[in-house]
Amino acid sequence: MEIQTTGSAAPLIDAVDQSTPGNLQSLDRALMLLRAATHSDSGLRLTDLAQASGLSKSTTHRILSALVSHGLLQISAQTRMYTPGIDMYQLGRAAARHFSLIDIARPALQRLADATEDTVYLSVIDGHEAVCADRIIGAYPIKTLTLAPGNRRPLGVGAGALALLAALRDKEMLAVVHDESRRRPDYAHFTASVLHRLVNDTRRKGYSYNHERVFKGMSAVGVAIPGLDGQAIGAVSVAAISSRMTSARYLGIVEQMKKECRAIAKLASQHTGDPL
């Protein structure tokens, strides 16, 4: 059994500025559709992408066809779903060579997954969002697969995203908390006052705790990975069905996570340059 969510494309797409010059607007639209199609585990149809983007079907089809011709997307003859193409895979492999945090953290994530039998996530910051960089699935038969690598959420939404938000300097944290332009309808209950309270609670405890705030029946804890400059270079979170996340159990998991996050931070500090 799995707790797995794919959702619609709508939360993944931001409006394109209509004042942007033509060529740049076309590029913005193409990147917008590319991101939406690649963030869905099963892919999306033309109708879904057109509806989510607000573009006409003809415009959406024209842009998608160009992305397919360049190998960035592919379309299934059976399902008509758009999914990442071979060139996107090659670009991802090239980017991964510079994304050493995933390689550095993977053994620690695996140890946590083995020890807890639950799902372990690695998240990093991109602007005012948290991006799932990696995921290890534990052996427990009921899975909590609410994020896949590449998925994004607003900072503060979910255990890993909250740990990252709480690790920011106050000025940066407040800018995120009060940035209404990034507020998604799906997470409207994460108001500025709620996020502020969650950040304070996370800082006081030294870990984040999400009890069914994002998905009913799923709870998670998160810990930030400290960097040399005091800023978090990422966050690790462990998610499970809520019945497994009793306080006695998750406090033990938090201690394991803190230990592994220190190990990740130490290894990252030994690499030259930015660990990302």
CATH code of residue 217? 3.30.450.40
Least confident stretch, 6-15, 37-46, 62-71: 6-15
Q: Are residues 60 and 178 in the same domain?
A: no
pLDDT of residue 161: 96
- The residue to which tokens 């502020």 are assigned: 196
pLDDT of residue 108: 96
Domain boundary residue, one of 88, 115, 149: 88
Question: Does 1 reside within a domain?
Answer: no
Helix (H, G, I), strand (E, B) or coil at 142: coil
Q: Is the backbone of residue 150 left (phi > 0), alpha (psi -120 to 50) or beta?
A: left
Higher-pLDDT residue of 116 and 276 is: 116
pLDDT of residue 96: 58
Q: Are residues 126 and 238 in the same domain?
A: yes
pLDDT of residue 189: 85
Higher-pLDDT residue of 128 and 25 is: 128
Question: Does 154 reside within a domain?
Answer: yes
pLDDT of residue 41: 66
* Distance in angstroms (rounded) separating the CA atoms of residues 145 and 158: 13
- 243 pLDDT higher than 50: yes
Most confident range, picked from 35-39, 164-168, 174-178: 164-168
Q: Are residues 172 and 213 in the same domain?
A: yes
Question: Does 53 reside within a domain?
Answer: yes
Question: Does 60 reside within a domain?
Answer: yes
pLDDT of residue 136: 96
pLDDT over 70 percentage in the chain: 84
Q: How many domains does the chain have?
A: 2
pLDDT of residue 94: 62
Question: Does 276 reside within a domain?
Answer: no
Give the mean pLDDT of 27-51. Answer: 84
- For the entire predicted model, the pTM comes to 0.66
Q: Are residues 142 and 226 in the same domain?
A: yes
Q: Are residues 262 and 125 in the same domain?
A: yes
Q: Are residues 134 and 19 in the same domain?
A: no
CATH code at 83?
1.10.10.10
Q: Are residues 124 and 81 in the same domain?
A: no
Q: Are residues 263 and 199 in the same domain?
A: yes
Question: Does 31 reside within a domain?
Answer: yes
Domain boundary residue, one of 88, 106, 131: 88
Residue 118 is which amino acid?
D
Question: Does 130 reside within a domain?
Answer: yes
Q: Are residues 104 and 63 in the same domain?
A: no
Give the mean pLDDT of 159-178. Answer: 94
Give the mean pLDDT of 43-54. Answer: 88
Range of the domain at 16: 6-88
Q: Are residues 166 and 260 in the same domain?
A: yes
Q: CB-based burial of residue 162 (10 Å sphere; 0-12 exposed, 13-18 middle, 19+ buried)?
A: buried
Domain boundary residue, one of 88, 111, 129: 88
Q: Are residues 265 and 128 in the same domain?
A: yes
Q: Are residues 44 and 162 in the same domain?
A: no
Whole-number average pLDDT of the chain: 85
- 170 pLDDT higher than 80: yes
Question: Does 243 reside within a domain?
Answer: yes
Strand order from edge to edge, sheet including 208-211: 152-154, 129-136, 119-126, 232-241, 218-226, 208-211
Residues whose CB falls within 8 Å of the CB of residue 60, separated by 6 or more in sequence, listed in order:
33, 46, 49, 50, 53
